[in-house]
Structure 1
């Protein structure tokens, strides 16, 4: 049961002191059964005149900051420690009636899942691509279908760093056979919803070992993946960018219906367009060797 530490720093630089409008932050990890937040600290410079914490309709932590000071630099530093429990997706955990697709969610499940069942695309090409994971009679083993789709996207689509705002349409991602992590996630969500699965977008952090990041960063980065709802285990994490199934190395910040609802940090500055010079983001995710090592560190500090 590893202990993960996440540090996320975003800094805005301006040519001259500017005023700031409200800034909305989604930086604190969710409190879920498989990840428990031990410590969470948010440092903002200049210091906000007001800061409010709330939960949105999906249970995500949202902070809103208001500012009275003008400054030529605005800096947000979020530091978190959490206990993370890796979980797998096993066929044996699926309810008997749901082990073969298609299956029907209960009436209550359909009501609760309504916004996560709404189709994202009616295009025949997307439907054909999703149907390729089914047998000729339209059936499939649920576990195999979900794992195969995750790993097929990883294997046949190019994962690229795309810095433009927004998300590609699922059909565009299919045609290009490439996309950012958020694009590949939305493709998989669109495909699963076309097959009748409840699926939702997840935003957070990916823990990486040295040299594992395609973008050259070491230790971790912001990331996006999906969850699908399966009777039995409930919401299960699938990362089409890496082909991984389960929550290993994934830290959830937000679960949402649409990616625009999970932007980590957004706000406004009041000045001229030329005042903005740069925005820099640095993310580091580190793991203690194991829970016992972390306990030893804490005990030593307390004894000292």
Structure 2
């Protein structure tokens, strides 16, 4: 258990003053049994004329910023500050209890579960050459166990070991097949690879965006910005989080902000401006995470 403060700063710079279009923010987590939100502050400069909060189709908290037509600025600064307590499940020891039909991999969902999981259990990207499916089946053969939890842990570790982490500042996420071919990727790419590999077996997964904190060695990667991982629906255990970038299991060190069907739906901050195409001259993102352990009496 830990008390955590997260300061997420995003600053856009423009060559000339521009008009600011609607911006969409996914920066506020919802409270749950594993997270208690004490404070959530949002400071925006220039100040918007209207701030609106809604829930999206996945029930994530979404903020919309709207400025008046008269507002023009050569910079936009958005600072989100969170103060929360995290109760991570940690590594699954003792092991999660799965429904009997889900203990061996691959497993099949019941008709009722599948009706609700829908497209979360279906590959979202084309794989005409079978690159992703072939990689997934190779991981299954090399897992050393047919137990579902062992297979998922092995796949999480294999992605961390086999692929090199490489920060990429361009927008978007590369396909799972491209990650396999290149051998490199970002945290978003690795999350998508694990999702598509598991979906090739009909296993339901979700894309998760949020933050990473390191309470031990400092060996994790993906800090200093927003982070991404995936969650897997396991009958009997529910949604369990896996971070293939760092080999983390069960949500340890991970602050979940939003969950979506695919990566494109989980942009932390997006928006538009009215100006010349060459007006944007800079984008700076900084995430500062302060961690303080809380010891039980």
- Which TM-score applies when normalising by structure 2? 0.91
| Structure 2 unaligned spans of 5+ | none
Over residues 44-92 of structure 1, what are the superposed CA-to-partner deviations in whole Å (9 max), with x where a residue is unaligned?
1111101110011111110111112212221101000111111133534
Which residue does the alignment assign to 2:66? 66
2-side partners of 1:279 and 1:133: how far apart?
A: 38
1-side partners of 2:195 and 2:111: how far apart?
A: 21
1:277 pairs, out of 271, 281, 287, with: 281
Residues 1:89 and 2:95 are matched in the alignment: no
Q: Name the Cα RMSD after superposition.
A: 2.1
1-side partners of 2:141 and 2:73: how far apart?
A: 61
Which residue does the alignment assign to 1:177? 183
2-side partners of 1:188 and 1:236: how far apart?
A: 13
Alignment of 1:37-76 (within 5 A): 37-68=37-68, 69-76=71-78
Which residue does the alignment assign to 1:118? 122
| Cα distance change of structure 1 residues 110 and 44 upon mapping to structure 2, 3 Å threshold | same
1:150 pairs, out of 143, 147, 156, with: 156
1-side partners of 2:251 and 2:38: how far apart?
A: 18
2-side partners of 1:213 and 1:99: how far apart?
A: 30
Name the structure with the higher helix share.
Answer: 1
Which residue does the alignment assign to 1:77? 79
1-side partners of 2:292 and 2:131: how far apart?
A: 45
Please say which of residues 236-245 and 125-134 is displaced more in the overlay.
125-134
Contact 1:204 1:224 in 2 (8 A): yes
Which residue does the alignment assign to 1:246? 250
Aligned with 2:171: secondary structure?
Answer: coil
| Cα distance change of structure 1 residues 270 and 92 upon mapping to structure 2, 3 Å threshold | closer
Aligned with 2:6: secondary structure?
Answer: strand
Contact 1:202 1:254 in 2 (8 A): yes
Residues 1:235 and 2:261 are matched in the alignment: no
Please say which of residues 11-20 and 1-10 is displaced more in the overlay.
11-20
Contact 1:207 1:250 in 2 (8 A): yes
Aligned with 1:132: secondary structure?
Answer: helix
Number of residue-to-residue matches in the alignment: 288
Contact 1:207 1:221 in 2 (8 A): no
Which residue does the alignment assign to 1:297? none
Contact 1:19 1:71 in 2 (8 A): yes
Aligned with 1:232: secondary structure?
Answer: coil
Which residue does the alignment assign to 1:102? 106
| Cα distance change of structure 1 residues 13 and 227 upon mapping to structure 2, 3 Å threshold | same
Please say which of residues 127-136 and 24-33 is displaced more in the overlay.
127-136
| Structure 1 unaligned spans of 5+ | 294-304
Over residues 240-296 of structure 1, what are the superposed CA-to-partner deviations in whole Å (9 max), with x where a residue is unaligned?
111111111111111001111110111111111232221111101111231679xxx
Which residue does the alignment assign to 1:134? 140
